């Protein structure tokens, strides 16, 4: 089978358009195009999107260029329009605002600096939208602002109604043909057989079609609702704003014009706005303009556009336009995303459906021809070839309906759709387990992951940081107590003063009060820990921040690994404050403060002593930072903050404990054949201590720094990467290189975590990019495949478990459906050839199709995962989907069922001792009933492809139980009460029991089959901890 699926192979990420178009062309047998291709990318719309986006970008760039040339002559023209600009509508004026929504929006959209100046700049705009730049918007004004200026939501395509899904289900060509046959059957049947007998056959088909359509539509509609819920979760982005005089975090949807938004590295600009204040703010506008060069934003170039992102620096802006009045909103209104790329399993199962569909079509044609030829031969032998009646027409019509129904059963349209069903179910469950899947393929691919590159802080550790130890003024290390008495008692006033300045001025964390007056610290965990230390030491945050004016700022990022600010001193002069990675900041220092707080030269012996202190803290799993300062003359006017000549103040050790459950989760990964690597920007000794505690680092493993890794040759990479367990002091490009080489050189399926803007390349390169929901920037999240909402490594293991469950559930469903396909095709074909009639009628085959398609997918594709999934090795990148074990089960079950049904078809009346006029009807009903019960019990068998105990965990899967019960109940109704429509007659209790027993025998048959050994390909590589693949198959039963 795998050899026939070459054209149906696509990568999990970044598929080329050529590959996507290739498999679409290869799909030749499709019953319902609108349903089959609903969950695949619309390449035509995607192409239109690119074209439209490019036109908008060109127009936007041309407009900006034109503005630069027209600025000189604009003031005269603007003076003539002053009266127009001042006028506002009565509604806007009554609301207390001094500028119209369209004019306000156009200032930023057109980068109209002269109009902005006319209104008094950012401060003037703030006055006209009635907002205080210090206190922000008042909550009581929000409804009025939304009424005048709009809400921050974009126009979206309305979701499909249930009736739309009913209509799509009706587009199935074979169902349309059956409905036509049914109508013709009724039209011919009433004149020949009378009312109501002449209606039964046709009405039975129409009723079956109606049932198939409704069940299909309900299943598809529920899937769509799940995807809508997940899509809404993806769009939830929180921003920091000033409202009611306090700093708050709110959803971007809740932003209104006038809001004061705080911007930091990695944020996506949530609305159009005007720059108020900030340092080194660089904006990536490539999403709008296509330009890769970042744009500097400052007082003279103050315009910020929605949908762009902060690449560097920090700042504040006042919102001037929201929703559809923004540049981004207008861009989105012209675009249609055309859906995500289809997943590899969806494509592969489209291939399986195409191949089986071709076989089924051939069998259906041959069956129809055999039946027609036999019928014509019989007429010729009876010398009635020239006389035709309506009964003859009905016979031929029934033959055609049977052939069409064989196509319905034979073309497994539900195979690719079962993948979507399973993925939707898994994604919804993962949401409740704190993982948001952004791309369908990630949920599927995660089950094949054999390498996880994880961050340390917040993922393996709790991210709840406190300063545990400090070294200051040349003292021995001091343990920080809850009251801070030890530090204050052993440190002089001058040293404490400079320490508090560094903590309070060089920070992005804030002390905020909620509406109840409760105080809390808002900011990154590391900065919050330092700020908490400053408050513990009785420092006056407000007083220090008011005395010193910040002139320049270089925020922390994963490349610099430090944060610096330049401040003006109250009595004149300038001072630079720096904090960051201990080794980096220490190299910037040539002095230190002594026990009296005075700067003294830093000798080589002292440098070694400080390095020993740093390593001592790190070996205790403490995160180490150095704090330093440098005094400068007032004449200093360099655009960047100095990189050397600092005075070392202190070394702090920050405690960040390993999360509960991480050790067990890492052990589970190792047992599952997954290598876990820690990639962190922290000190190597800290990283090693945490890695050992987490069971990641073993005696034979390699722990290196990024600088060493960068020096390796390609051959070194190939030989040594498998043994890397810890990479410390790494740069974002180190992580990218590790991921790239693991995938390309070692052919590993790699999952990688990331939280910073600079992690975006690695997240895109990995097979599965995992962004942190709490610590992660919006840029990192938008480039990830899965967002770990609680930043917890245990959640990543749950994603792996669900990924494996999706893969194995689809395998179960494929095994079940192919068995039904083979049996239904062969028994109808053989009967047609030998006895001239098919044992299963059109109505009966439609019911079987619903059991194996929609209901089968519901039952098997939605089974929850179990812990034993992590006792198996991951599926290899090149391993075939339909395994040898599956073929063993399919062929074995098909042989048993075909043997039983063939014996009953050809000699059933004698074996069952049936007699009388209804013997034939009883036999066909018994065959139909037996066939259905064979599928019911085989569906239970399919719950586990390898193990004998298929009942384990069955009661935890309520969907499976519900489908089984519903199938049996409906089967009883069809046999006992719908005989006129389904061509059945009521069966005796003995025949019911015998049908169930014959069906149940499939279970011991399954046990025998599972004891037959099947050679497996060994896809697991040697693990760094000595892991050996666990046994699987009958020995684990």
Give 265's pLDDT tier (boundaries 50, 70, 90). Answer: confident
pLDDT at 482: 67
Summarize the confidence of residues 805-816 as an average pLDDT.
Answer: 90
Burial 74-103 (b: 16+ CB within 10 A, else e): eeeeeeeeeeeeeebeeebeebebbbbbeb
Q: Nearest-5° angle of CA 499, CA 505, CA 511?
A: 105
455 counts as catalytic: yes
1016 vs 802, higher pLDDT: 802
pLDDT at 592: 94
Distant-in-sequence, close-in-space partners of 77: CB < 8 Å, separation ≥ 6: none
Stretch among 117-121, 214-218, 303-307, 702-706 having the lowest mean pLDDT: 214-218
Summarize the confidence of residues 359-385 as an average pLDDT.
Answer: 83
Give 608's pLDDT tier (boundaries 50, 70, 90). Answer: very high
Residue 601 predicted with pLDDT over 90? yes
pLDDT at 337: 52
pLDDT at 193: 62
Burial 989-1016 (b: 16+ CB within 10 A, else e): eebbebbbebbebbeebbeebbeeeeee
DSSP symbols for 624-639: EEEEEEEEE-TT---S
pLDDT at 408: 73
Contact 677, 479 (CB under 8 A): no
259 vs 5, higher pLDDT: 259
pLDDT at 956: 83
pLDDT of 653-662, one tens digit each?
Answer: 999 989 888 9
Q: Quickly list H helices, 433-484.
A: 440-445
Rounded-to-integer distance, Cα 623 and Cα 634, Å: 35
Residue 1035 predicted with pLDDT over 60? no
- Per the residue annotation, which of 112, 220, 267, 455 is the catalytic one? 455
pLDDT at 1030: 41
Give the pair of three-digit tokens for residue 903.
């014996």
Stretch among 49-58, 566-575, 590-599, 965-974 having the lowest mean pLDDT: 49-58
Helix or strand holding residue 572 (H, E) = none
Calculate the average pLDDT of the chain: 84
633 vs 938, higher pLDDT: 938
796 vs 209, higher pLDDT: 796
pLDDT at 109: 84
Give 426's pLDDT tier (boundaries 50, 70, 90). Answer: confident
Cα distances (angstroms) measured from residue 655 to each of 262, 310, 463, 926: 28, 30, 9, 72
Residue 650 predicted with pLDDT over 80? yes
Summarize the confidence of residues 47-71 as an average pLDDT.
Answer: 64
pLDDT of 765-778, one tens digit each?
Answer: 999 999 988 888 88
% pLDDT > 90, the chain: 36
Stretch among 56-70, 439-453, 889-903 having the lowest mean pLDDT: 56-70
pLDDT of 707-733, one tens digit each?
Answer: 999 999 999 999 999 999 999 999 888
pLDDT at 737: 93
Distant-in-sequence, close-in-space partners of 224: CB < 8 Å, separation ≥ 6: 159, 160, 165
Give 229's pLDDT tier (boundaries 50, 70, 90). Answer: confident
Residue 690 predicted with pLDDT over 70? yes
Residue 843 predicted with pLDDT over 70? yes
pLDDT at 881: 80
Note the Cα 981 to chain centre separation in Å: 46
Cα distances (angstroms) measured from residue 529 to each of 396, 481, 504, 510, 523: 83, 13, 12, 11, 9
Residue 438 predicted with pLDDT over 80? yes
Residue 202 predicted with pLDDT over 80? no
Note the Cα 1035 to chain centre separation in Å: 36
pLDDT at 72: 46
pLDDT at 424: 83
pLDDT of 483-539, one tens digit each?
Answer: 778 888 888 999 999 999 999 999 988 888 766 667 788 888 899 999 999 999 989
Give 1020's pLDDT tier (boundaries 50, 70, 90). Answer: very low
Rounded-to-integer distance, Cα 19 and Cα 347, Å: 10
pLDDT at 674: 92
Stretch among 194-198, 292-296, 919-923 having the lowest mean pLDDT: 194-198
Residue 664 predicted with pLDDT over 70? yes
Residue 195 predicted with pLDDT over 70? yes
Note the Cα 404 to chain centre separation in Å: 40
Residue 808 predicted with pLDDT over 50? yes
pLDDT at 747: 87
């Amino acid at each position: 089978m795998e050899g026939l699926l070459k054209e149906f192979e696509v990568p999990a990420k970044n598929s080329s358009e050529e590959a996507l178009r290739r498999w679409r062309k290869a799909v030749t047998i499709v019953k319902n195009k609108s349903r089959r291709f609903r969950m695949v990318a619309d390449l035509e719309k995607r192409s239109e999107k690119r074209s439209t986006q490019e036109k908008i970008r060109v127009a936007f760039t041309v407009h900006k260029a034109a503005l630069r040339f027209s600025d000189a002559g604009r003031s005269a023209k603007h003076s003539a329009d002053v009266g127009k600009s001042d006028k506002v509508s009565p509604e806007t004026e009554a609301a207390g605002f001094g500028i119209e929504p369209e004019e306000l929006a156009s200032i930023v959209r057109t980068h109209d600096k002269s109009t902005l100046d006319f209104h008094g700049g950012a401060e003037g705009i703030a006055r006209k939208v009635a907002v205080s730049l210090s206190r922000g918007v008042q909550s009581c004004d929000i409804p009025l602002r939304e009424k005048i200026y709009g809400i921050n939501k974009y126009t979206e395509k309305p979701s499909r109604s249930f009736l739309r899904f009913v209509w799509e289900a009706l587009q199935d060509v074979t169902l349309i043909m059956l409905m036509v046959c049914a109508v013709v059957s009724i039209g011919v049947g009433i004149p020949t057989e009378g009312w109501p007998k002449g209606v039964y056959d046709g009405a039975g088909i129409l009723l079956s079609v109606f049932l198939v359509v409704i069940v299909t539509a309900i299943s598809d509609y529920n899937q769509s609702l799940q995807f809508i819920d997940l899509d809404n979760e993806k769009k939830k982005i929180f921003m920091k704003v000033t409202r009611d005089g306090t700093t708050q975090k709110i959803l971007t949807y809740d932003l209104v014009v006038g809001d004061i938004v705080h911007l930091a590295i990695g944020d996506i600009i949530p609305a159009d706005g005007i720059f108020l204040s900030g340092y080194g703010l660089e904006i990536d506008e490539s999403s709008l303009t296509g330009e890769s060069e970042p744009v500097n934003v400052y007082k003279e170039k103050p315009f910020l556009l929605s949908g762009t992102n902060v690449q560097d620096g920090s700042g504040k802006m006042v919102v001037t336009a929201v929703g559809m009045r923004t540049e981004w909103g207008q861009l989105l209104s012209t675009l249609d995303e055309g859906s995500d790329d289809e997943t590899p399993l969806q494509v592969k199962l489209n291939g399986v459906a195409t191949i089986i569909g071709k076989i089924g079509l051939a069998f259906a044609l041959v069956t129809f021809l055999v039946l027609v030829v036999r019928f014509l031969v019989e007429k010729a032998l009876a010398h009635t070839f020239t006389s035709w009646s309506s009964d003859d027409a009905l016979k031929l019509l029934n033959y055609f309906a049977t052939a069409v129904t064989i196509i319905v059963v034979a073309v497994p349209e539900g195979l690719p759709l079962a993948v979507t069903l399973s993925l939707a179910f898994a994604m919804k469950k993962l949401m409740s387990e704190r993982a948001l899947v952004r791309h369908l393929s990630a949920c599927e691919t995660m089950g094949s992951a054999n390498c996880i590159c994880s961050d340390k802080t917040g993922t393996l550790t709790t991210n709840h940081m406190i300063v545990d130890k400090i070294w200051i003024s040349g003292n021995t290390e001091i343990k920080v107590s809850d009251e801070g008495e030890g530090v204050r008692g052993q440190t002089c006033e001058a040293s404490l003063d400079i320490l508090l300045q560094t903590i309070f001025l060089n920070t992005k964390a804030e002390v905020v009060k909620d509406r109840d007056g409760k105080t809390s610290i808002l900011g990154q965990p590391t900065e919050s820990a330092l700020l908490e230390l400053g408050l513990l030491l009785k420092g006056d945050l407000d007083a220090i921040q008011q005395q010193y004016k910040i002139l320049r700022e270089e925020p922390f990022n994963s490349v610099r690994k430090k944060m610096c600010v330049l401040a003006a001193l109250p009595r004149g002069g300038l001072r630079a404050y720096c904090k960051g990675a201990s080794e980096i900041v220490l190299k910037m220092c040539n002095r230190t403060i002594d026990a009296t707080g005075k700067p003294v030269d830093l000798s080589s012996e002292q440098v070694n002593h400080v390095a020993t202190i740093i390593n001592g803290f790190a070996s205790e799993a403490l995160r180490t930072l150095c704090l330093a300062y440098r005094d400068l003359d007032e004449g200093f006017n360099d655009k960047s903050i100095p990189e050397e000549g600092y005075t070392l103040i202190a070394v702090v050790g920050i405690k960040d404990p390993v999360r509960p459950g991480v050790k067990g989760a890492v052990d589970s990964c190792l047992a599952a054949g997954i290598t876990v690597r820690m990639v962190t920007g922290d000190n190597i000794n800290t990283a090693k201590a945490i890695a050992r505690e987490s069971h990641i680092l073993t005696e034979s493993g390699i722990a290196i720094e990024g600088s060493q890794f960068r020096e390796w040759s390609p051959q070194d990479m190939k030989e040594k990467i498998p043994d890397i367990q810890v990479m410390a002091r790494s740069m974002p490009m180190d992580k990218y290189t590790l991921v790239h080489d693991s995938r390309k050189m070692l052919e590993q399926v790699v999952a990688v975590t990331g939280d910073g803007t600079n992690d975006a390349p690695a997240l895109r390169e990995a097979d599965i990019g995992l962004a942190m929901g709490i610590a992660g920037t919006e840029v990192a999240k938008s480039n990830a495949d899965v967002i770990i909402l609680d930043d917890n490594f245990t959640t990543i293991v749950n994603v792996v478990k669900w990924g494996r469950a999706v893969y194995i559930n689809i395998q179960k469903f494929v095994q079940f459906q192919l068995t039904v396909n083979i049996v239904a095709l062969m028994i109808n074909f053989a009967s047609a050839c030998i006895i001239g009639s098919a044992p299963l009628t059109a109505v009966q085959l439609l019911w079987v199709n619903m059991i194996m398609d929609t209901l089968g997918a519901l039952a098997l594709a939605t089974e929850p995962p179990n812990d034993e999934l992590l006792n198996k090795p991951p599926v290899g990148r090149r391993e075939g989907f339909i395994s040898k074990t599956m073929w063993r089960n399919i062929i074995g079950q098909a042989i048993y069922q075909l043997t039983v049904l063939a014996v009953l078809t050809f000699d059933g009346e004698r074996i069952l001792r049936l007699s009388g006029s209804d013997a034939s009807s009883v036999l066909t009903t018994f065959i139909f009933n037996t066939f259905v019960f064979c599928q019911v019990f085989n569906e239970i068998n399919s719950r586990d492809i390898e193990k004998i105990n298929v009942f384990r965990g069955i009661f935890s899967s309520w969907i499976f139980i519900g489908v089984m019960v519903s199938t049996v109940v409906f089967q009883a109704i069809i046999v006992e009460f719908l005989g006129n429509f389904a061509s059945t007659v009521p069966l005796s209790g003995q025949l019911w029991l015998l049908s169930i027993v014959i069906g149940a025998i499939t279970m011991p048959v399954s046990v025998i089959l599972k004891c037959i050994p099947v050679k497996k390909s060994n896809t697991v590589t040697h693990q760094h901890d000595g892991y050996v693949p666990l046994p699987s198959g009958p020995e684990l039963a």
